[in-house]
Amino acid sequence: MSTSSGRTSRRAWGTLSRARIVDAALRIARDEGMRALTIRRLASDLGASRMALYRHVADKDELVALVLDAIAEHEVVPPGIGEGPWDRRLRLLAATIRRELAAFPGLAEIVTTRTHHGPGALRTVELILEALAEAGLDDRQTARYYLVFLDLVLGRVQRELHGDVAGIHRDASLDATDRQPGDHPRLDAAEPHLRAITADEIFDTELDMLVHAIAHAAHR
């Protein structure tokens, strides 16, 4: 909160709330990444003292937990997620999880290493499990494909953010110095497609494979 002279003014007593803190934290995390999110920086943006923030948030760890939960509850779960076929709901959840992990720099690393979930994250877990159960899977199959779903979505995001092994292998094959025209006809035929296929297409195909595997397991 800044004055016309450029100095940061103090927020009036009683105007700070946990909701305001989380909103400001989300802005910092989206614009600058999770590493930029500190109590000091947040206090400065809010025009409040760090001690004022500590009356609402115990520490940085709790602040990060609140941000994760807010993202899960308000950004990941799309409107109308409880309606429609199970496979549509599963695809929607996969797409929104991927989108939000990419939207907040550093979030994917936290999500893949953090071991505690708040209410928003637990709701997301429940929605995924509900979709799998409605596909016709038994409890063990539901648990199995839930873990496969997480591995697919979180793994895809990590690869897109930190280097895709498949992309590296593709480029190594296409740009090999020992490659001569006509020696590898299948690779020659695939080359324009290998260069054109997007990450979205790969993600959609991975989800197709998962949905087909779930349907097959349920049918058996």
Residues 48 and 102 in one domain: no
Residues 137 and 44 in one domain: no
Q: Which domain holds residue 31?
A: 1-57
136 lies in a domain?
yes
115 lies in a domain?
yes
Q: Give residue for tokens 């799309």.
A: 78
Number of domain units in the chain: 2
Q: Report the pLDDT value the prediction gives residue 14, as an integer from 0 to 100.
A: 53
Q: Report the pLDDT value the prediction gives residue 179, as an integer from 0 to 100.
A: 80
Q: Report the pLDDT value the prediction gives residue 129, as an integer from 0 to 100.
A: 97
62 lies in a domain?
no
Q: Report the pLDDT value the prediction gives residue 128, as an integer from 0 to 100.
A: 96
171 lies in a domain?
yes
85 lies in a domain?
yes
Which domain CATH number covers 136? 1.10.357.10
69 lies in a domain?
no
Q: Report the pLDDT value the prediction gives residue 10, as an integer from 0 to 100.
A: 54
Burial (0-12, 13-18, 19+ Cβ within 10 Å), 148: middle
- Over the chain (220 residues), what is each successive 10-residue block's mean pLDDT? 46 72 94 93 92 91 91 84 90 94 91 82 93 97 97 92 79 82 88 90 96 94
63 lies in a domain?
no
Residues 205 and 113 in one domain: yes
What is the pTM (predicted TM-score) of this model? 0.82
Please say which residue of 9, 24, 57 terminates a domain: 57
